[in-house]
Structure 1
Amino acid sequence: MIVENIYWIQEWAKVRQAEVVRLPDSFEIHDSFLKHMSKEEFDSAFKEVWNMFTNIYGNIAKFPEVFGMPLHKSVEYKYSTKEARESRSAAYRPLKLLFYLLNAGDLHNGTIILDVNKFKAINDVKNIPIIFERLSDYGFYFDGLKNYKIASESIYILYPDNAQVLTVLKSMADKVHITNRINDFLSCHYKLFQDDTNTVNYGHGADIIADKMHTKQEKEFVYAMDAVLSEMGYYAGSRESNEGPGYAYYSKESEIRKKGPYHYLMSSNKTKLFLYLRIRNVSKCIDYLKECPDSVKQIFLWSDTGCSNRIKGTCIYGQEYAIDGNTYWRCGCCNAPFYFSPIINDIPHYIKLVELGLKK
């Protein structure tokens, strides 16, 4: 039997690969990025970059030892340990190193000339010799290294197979540096190029979730749900978790800053869409559920194990309820207790259920 994800890094590298923003059939490129090539040439070079980023994350998941990644076994370290936490960000190391190299260098005739002192001042990536070696596997050539260690005050970086790839990467890094959008570099976000080098008109509001989705149906749901809740007067704000970004909806604007209890939360759970509903009293929803389609009823027909508070007998947010003679338990300590993969046609039912069950 083949066991997958022996190490935490393998699981999180797969997540990072999934978080690379899906490419549409076509996307806008601002004229400021087309000074040195045609749109067709830019498209081709960016797709090569996109494939490179995707392959780096994928190969870390397959061969973490080769990349010098932390090898913490998931059976030995619980989810909340520092070893497991280290693995969540470790998969970013090759691309963070690449960003720092680009940020500390200038592009001249298809070559990045790196200021080593500037690079050392900003770099926080570990095990850089082994990562330099791995980057060379993806087409980069480094002049100024010895055994992949820095051996000169200037390093020359080339991409011999396609010099336009370095031009695109340098454009990405410059825009990310100016606009403070490092996550857009790490996820190879095509929307970096839709505005000029100083402007960001994306990644706000429901885009936070929609841009992480892989399917048309999930994207459509995000924007449809956001439109309904915005029309109802809800206040919305981002709400991060280890598994990905979230976008929460509150009855009061002050709750956004306090990260208080939201009524609804759309969450990218490792790039899968979940909707959370704040229902505190299921008994008030039972009669309405009888009128709902099975896709809605199923939300309530399973139990979770609860958290340590339930085991200790101190849980005050979980709830027990009965439907058709069966008893269920749902924890509400960390998030709203009811979460699922939503369907756009069921939005009116989600709204009604929260209205009925919000108050105890």
Structure 2
Amino acid sequence: MQNDDIEFINCANVLKAIETDLNQPSRAQIAKYLGLSRTAVSMVVKKLIAANLVTELEIEKSGRGRPGTPLALDGSYWHAIGAAYSLRLWTFCVVNLNGQPILTHKEHVETTDQDETVEVLIRGLRHVESKVDKPLLPGYGIGPPGLIDPKTGTVFRADDMGWIKELPLKRLVEEATGKKAFIINRYRANGVAELTFGGHDLTKNIMYIGVGTGIAGSVYFEGTLLNSTKYRFGHMVIDPHGPLCGCGQYGCLQAMASEKALLSYAHAKMEEDPTFLASYADQPITAKLLIDLAEQGDVHAQSCLSHIASALGIAILTIANVIAPDEVVIGGPIGEASTFLVDEIRKAAYDHLLDWQVKALTISKGSQGDYGSVLGAAAFLLEQKMELLLGEGCPTIS
């Protein structure tokens, strides 16, 4: 099927109705919901069942008449591989069609060199694939660091990795494996996981902010990810007189609120004031140490987190006045680890919003943990299942 023909569109709409919009609907319920004829829906469902995307459930008899057969996503057949990078580590997972993980694997990367990073990624993909005896979608969902062109799958820079040369990741993976690669920034992948598995109201507009060695944002309108390079949340200028960012600008959000900014502020305060974190002067000051101390009530560590919270609050304030999201979720390795940080971000944003904006905006902490990015990368691949199995160039299923 062509991806833009009416047959493909009907298949996609029926699958979405079964997967997310309706609860175990019958063919008649789908027809009514989508405004299609029962005959058209029945033909589409036949194709989806033949493609092992949909299954029929047992009929529960109640009252008179023959009830329609309930339909659900078939989570037993197809599986998907996801991969995501963080702290010189590629994490891999295999999930079923419902997003439930059945296997995880990790591969260490010795350096931040682009060639080695790709080499370890491809090695890990092959290893995981060899361990799975289930049918796999013919593609991979991959969450690298950096700014990514969603059309070409090219990482055109990753300042926190020192990558200023373009990395054609999609092309390299596809040439090495013969399968399609779908590339999404690692923190945006975490956002996909949060929206897919975090129990959020998908009818609302949600902004996800991942905070770690870098900063990236995802925008969702009514559950749909805006996958574009036209916004670079981490490089929103917060203070034009602020610190120099790796991108060449001054005062970017990433330069003022990432892990590097947090540690730079802590070290600067320690140099200014010998009593600042004096009990920990003989050990490495890490983001984890500062977060743990802040959660325990250490005022010095809390001041460090409050410093980056101020910049994040200003960023949210700007977003709130432009796209007015219903919810902002703070995630990533730092965001998810610190309740104190999220509380401070909330205060920093709410202090400058109007009363009605405060009532309309929820700021919450992400919930996906260490495997959020890789689960999100796999979920990003699952979103492409129609294209991979029934799209242009795929075998015709009748």
The normalised TM-score by structure 1 is 0.25
The normalised TM-score by structure 2 is 0.23
